[in-house]
Amino acid sequence: MAGCLVVATNSLRGMENCSVGLISPKADIINGVPMESQNPPAAFGKDMAASHDQRVAKPAPMREALHLFIRMVFGALPDNARMLCVGAGTGPELIYLAQAFPGWQYVAVDRSGAMLDVCRNRARENGVAERCTFHEGTFETLGEVEPFDAATSLLVSRFIFDTDARREFYAQIAQRLRPGGILVSADLATGASAPQYKSLYEVWERTMRYTGMPVLSIDRIGDKKSVLAPQAVRTIIASAGFEEPVQFFQALLIHACYAKRLGV
Ligand SMILES: C[S@@+](CC[C@H](N)C(=O)[O-])C[C@H]1O[C@@H](n2cnc3c(N)ncnc32)[C@H](O)[C@@H]1O
């Protein structure tokens, strides 16, 4: 996201599953405003940050399973590894991994100061804050940092609608990893085939309603060019300086893969 992070940042338009407020039971409307029209900083603002963890409590088992497998993906890295957590939000993956790998150092980056404040407080409460650096901003403002052994980008890249900007987002992560360093990326993706996707979407929609999360209609997800087929996402990552990504996890529309940075 450095010089190119501008691109990623400017491409953030929709914050569909993270917004808070009065949610229309029918569609992606919050407080009477279509979600794609919501200002991204407001969508991840103070109210949203304060209520975020409560709202994501019901789907916690999905998140916990993902975190467990990320731990396994990173399991062979050195005891003193450094991890970049892009779009840390309120810190669920940061705190889980900081507890799992007590010798590691972490840099958490988030463009929302409100989300990062909650993240910092939770890191303190969980006794991991002294191993974390918190950066409010983007790659553009992060500046020069020591190379990382690992990076996470969980539920962040789908807010980048333009394919080139999304490639640049991953390229910026690649630039900050050492060769062989591992990226874990998770985001919404469609099903592998059209009939499979339609069926899967129905279960996803039911799940979102059950958990109280905003629901985007399947047509609107289709309109949003950031919700791509899983293979298309992996192709973008591979073209950004990584080996062929390996999908290791799927929970309905959430797909996660890992990929090693190219180079020696
Ligand atoms: C959906 S939340 C996910 C938070 C966390 N990773 C999780 O899984 O719970 C996305 C977060 O990414 C942040 N974000 C989006 N684009 C970003 C960018 N280009 N640079 C830094 N943070 C970004 C948002 O502010 C928000 O906190």
- Residue-wise pLDDT tens digits, 89-101: 999 999 999 999 9
Q: Cβ of 18: how many Cβ atoms within 10 Å?
A: 23
**Secondary structure string (H, E, C) spanning the chain:** CCCCHHHHHHCECCCCCCCCCCECCCCCEECCEEHHHCCHHHHCCHHHHHHHHHHCCCCHHHHHHHHHHHHHHCCCCCCCCEEEEECCCCCHHHHHHHHHCCCCEEEEEECCHHHHHHHHHHHHHCCCHHHEEEEECCHHHHCCCCCEEEEEEECCHHHECCHHHHHHHHHHHHHHEEEEEEEEEEEECCCCCHHHHHHHHHHHHHHHHHHCCCCCCHHHHHHCCCCCCHHHHHHHHHCCCECCCEEEEEECCEEEEEEEECCC
pLDDT score, position 172: 96
Q: Ligand 1 center to residue 195 CA distance, Å?
A: 30
Please give the Cα distance from 143 to 92 (Å, whole number).
24
Distance 91 CA to ligand 1 centre (A): 10
Instruction: Determine the distance separating the centroid of ligand 1 and the alpha carbon of 37, expressed in angstroms.
Output: 18
Residues in the chain: 264
Nearest CA to ligand 1 atom 12: 87
Q: What is the pLDDT of residues 149-194, one digit of tens each?
A: 999 999 999 889 899 999 999 999 999 999 999 999 999 998 778 8
Spell out which residues line ligand 1, taking CB within 6 angstroms.
1, 8-9, 12, 18, 44, 86-89, 92-93, 109-112, 115, 138, 154-156, 159
State which ligand 1 atom lies nearest to the alpha carbon of 56: 9
Nearest to 88 by CA among 174, 155, 41: 155
Instruction: Please state, in angstroms and rounded to a whole number, the distance separating the CA atoms of residues 194 and 176.
Output: 36
For residue 15, give the ligand 1 atom closest to its CA. 1
The rounded percent of the chain whose pLDDT value lies above 70 is 79
Domains and CATH numbers, the chain: 5-260 (3.40.50.150)
- Ligand 1 atom 21, closest CA: 110
User: What is the spatial distance between Cα 243 and Cα 261, in angstroms, rounded to a whole number?
Assistant: 6
Decide the pairing of beta strands 33-34 and 254-260.
unpaired
For range 74-96, the mean pLDDT: 98
Which residue would you say has higher pLDDT here, 7 or 150?
150
User: For ligand 1, atom 20, which residue shows the shortest CA distance?
Assistant: 138
Name the pLDDT band for 51 (thresholds 50, 70, 90): low
Share of the chain above pLDDT 90, in %: 62
CA distance 260 to 4: 21
Residue 177 pairs in a beta bridge with: 148
pTM: 0.83
